[in-house]
Amino acid sequence: MKKNLKKTIKVCIKKIKFLIFLTFILTFNLYSGSPGSSGALFLNYSPSARASGMANAFSSVTNDVFSTYYNPAGLSEIDLIQFGGSYTKSFEDIIHQYVTFAYPYKIGEVFGISFQSLSNGDIQGFDAGGKPTGNINTSNKAIGFSYSRALTKDEIERPVLEAGASLKFISQNLADVSANTFALDIGGIYSLKPEKYWLKEIPAQEFRFSFLLKNFGPGLKFDKENTPLPFSLTLGASWISHPWGKHKLILSWDNVITNDDGFKMLFGAEYYLFQLMSARVGFESSKDTG
């Protein structure tokens, strides 16, 4: 048993080293713009309170209906129909809504659909001379269609290697000007567990590794100006353990490269107590000051 554990840890360390190396290679090769250079930023609004509590270090952890946002590959772990949604109202009457639905066609193969919108409240308009012209109507919407499949499974039909994709149709309106486009999310998750883990009395630890390409597609074109989408590439890893009884600990780490903020790292932790309540904490490297 100890030999298998040591072997598993060595394999995980090798994968993590490769993950770090690949991330830094991509950091120097992927174009990074200045903050605010991309449009349709409402696509970056996190819809899940659980993921937000872990600083959105969630690409390898996600395995429920909100996988339509965080990594479509995670949908393949869903066994029953799921429905989820969130409603967030912040300052200046900014309202974000997210609704999502997942339907397991069969074990390891799941379809999903999602809708999100952002309302900016009343925006005062001005003419060329600086005089008020009344309020301007705005609209930010996106609808997505997702598909996920377990490419490989273990002996009890649980996903080992998962892949998924989401196709999103995006629309923005500002007064009488509008722009429409589409974007693609592509993701994968690989789970590493001990051999015959389902036979053990103590729940087995699990290592998970993820890949996510998000908002890949042509930009939004208002009149003659083209604004790029908030494209990002994520490589993540997480460790799931059971330190005591029915308690559960999750540690997660995401490396994210965006065309808006450059490179950042996300760290998250979650601790379940007696399957009744949980505590979460997270840290994002790009927000450590200010």
| Six-digit token string for 6 | 């040591």
State residue 223's pLDDT score: 72
Question: What's the pTM?
Answer: 0.83
- Count Cα atoms within 13 angstroms, Cβ side, for 237: 13
State residue 290's pLDDT score: 41
Neighbouring CB atoms inside 10 A of 194's CB total 16
| Six-digit token string for 72 | 């479509």
Q: Comparing C-alpha atoms, which of 19, 67, 26, 13 is closest to residue 235? A: 19
Please state, in angstroms and rounded to a whole number, the distance separating the CA atoms of residues 65 and 71. 10
State residue 289's pLDDT score: 47
State residue 226's pLDDT score: 81
Please state, in angstroms and rounded to a whole number, the distance separating the CA atoms of residues 251 and 16. 14
State residue 36's pLDDT score: 58
State residue 1's pLDDT score: 47
Residues pairing with 124 in the sheet: 135
State residue 21's pLDDT score: 53
Tens-place pLDDT, residues 258-270: 988 789 999 999 9
Q: Which residue positions in the chain have pLDDT lower than 70?
A: 1-37, 121-122, 124-131, 133-134, 199-202, 287-290
State residue 277's pLDDT score: 87
